[in-house]
């Protein structure tokens, strides 16, 4: 399946797919749609990587 096919089947806007490719923020709803199309679990499509540059005080 191509990225374009996934985008169409999951009803994701083209700019949202671009945001994903640039490692920018997208909503959980987007990942829910992707999981539905791929018939997979959230953990199979998402990896959490802590941002060490984000200093919290």
**Tens-binned pLDDT, residue by residue, of the chain (57 aa):** 899 999 999 999 999 999 999 989 899 999 999 999 999 998 898 888 787 776 655
| Cβ contacts of 11 within 8 Å, gap of 6 or more | 33
Residue 20 domain flag: yes
Q: How many other CB atoms are found less than 10 A from the CB of residue 39? A: 7
Burial 25-38 (b: 16+ CB within 10 A, else e): ebeeebeebbbebe
Tokens of 7: 């985008």
- Record the pTM: 0.76
Q: How many other CB atoms are found less than 10 A from the CB of residue 6? A: 15
Domain that holds residue 35: 3-42
Total domain count, the chain? 1
Residue 9 domain flag: yes
Residue 28 domain flag: yes
Q: How far apart are CA 14 and CA 4, in angstroms?
A: 8
Residue 54 domain flag: no
């Amino acid at each position: 399946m191509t990225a374009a096919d996934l985008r169409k089947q999951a009803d994701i806007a083209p700019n949202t797919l671009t945001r994903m490719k640039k490692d920018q923020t997208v909503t959980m709803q987007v990942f829910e749609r992707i999981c539905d199309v791929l018939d997979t679990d959230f953990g199979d499509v998402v990896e959490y990587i802590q941002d060490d540059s984000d200093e919290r005080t």
